[in-house]
């Protein structure tokens, strides 16, 4: 695996986390217990910080990055991924906040300053514009995203199931 120091920052990765050898994690990045980073992911905390909570999974081909401090973005913007989050294949998360228990569908893009509140599901291929706040408990779809409907009880249970499935799968890969 490519764990790269950048300037004074070395990624902090919990011992129970899994980072695939075909991914790159750089700089000011913290990955929590039982989380997983899958093949071909780029998690680049070079110009601001990235925090990934516990039991979250970042699936194949996803790109996680941040925004630097400038006159256009005073203070810059970090990236925060909470606990029990599933990030599908080929997702872009850029300087946003994904709260606990969310699912971000394959190919979705979540941009600077956006907040996906706990228990929200963002559908595959959706675009979350800068600064948009997505209320938890709903399915969001489209480009740009729109609130479609409340999540069913089964979908809400699936959010937790998905995160736990990936904890078990990363354990299989670690052996």
Query: In a structure prediction context, what are the per-residue pLDDT tens digits for the chain, which is 175 residues long?
Result: 589 999 999 999 999 999 999 999 999 999 999 999 999 999 999 999 999 999 999 999 999 999 999 999 999 999 999 999 999 999 999 999 999 999 999 999 999 999 999 999 999 999 999 999 999 999 999 999 999 999 999 999 999 999 999 999 999 998 8
What is the domain count for the chain?
A: 1
pTM beyond 0.95: the answer is: yes
In angstroms, rounded to a whole number, what is the distance separating the alpha carbons of residues 55 and 75?
29
Domain ranges, residue 162: 2-174
- Name, in order, each residue with C-beta under 8 angstroms of 81's C-beta and a sequence gap of 6 or more: 50, 51, 52, 53, 56, 58, 64, 87, 93, 98
Strand, helix or coil for residue 167: helix
The DSSP bridge pattern shows strands 138-142 and 145-150 to be: antiparallel
Closest alpha carbon to 50 in 1, 4, 107: 4
3-state SS of 30-66 is: EECCCCEECCCCEEEEEEEEEEECCCCEECCCCEEEC
> What pLDDT shows up at residue 77?
97
Instruction: Report yes or no: 59 and 91 within 8 Å, Cβ to Cβ.
Output: yes
- Asked whether the beta carbons of 43 and 92 are under 8 A apart, the reply is no
What integer pLDDT is reported at residue 175 of this predicted model? Answer: 84
Residue 23's CATH number: 2.160.10.10
State the pLDDT at residue 1. Answer: 56
pLDDT at residue 133, rounded to an integer? 98
Structure-block tokens of residue 37: 């980073």
Element counts in the chain: helices (H) and strands (E)? 1, 20
């Amino acid at each position: 695996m490519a764990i790269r120091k950048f300037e004074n920052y070395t990624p902090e990765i919990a011992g129970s986390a899994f980072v695939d050898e075909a991914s790159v994690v750089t700089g000011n990045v913290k990955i929590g217990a039982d989380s997983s980073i899958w093949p071909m992911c780029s998690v680049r905390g070079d110009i601001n910080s990235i925090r990934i909570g516990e039991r979250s999974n970042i699936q194949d081909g996803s790109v996680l990055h941040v925004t630097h401090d400038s006159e256009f973005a005073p203070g810059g913007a970090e990236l925060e991924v909470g606990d029990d989050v599933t990030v599908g294949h080929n997702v872009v998360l850029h300087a946003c906040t994904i709260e606990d228990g969310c699912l971000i569908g394959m190919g979705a893009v979540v941009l600077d300053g956006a907040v996906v509140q706990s228990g929200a599901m963002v559908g595959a291929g959706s675009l979350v514009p800068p600064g948009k706040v997505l209320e938890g408990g709903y399915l969001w779809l489209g480009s740009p995203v729109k609130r479609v409907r409340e999540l069913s009880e089964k979908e809400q249970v699936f959010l937790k199931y998905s995160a736990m499935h990936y904890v078990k799968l990363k354990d299989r890969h670690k052996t």
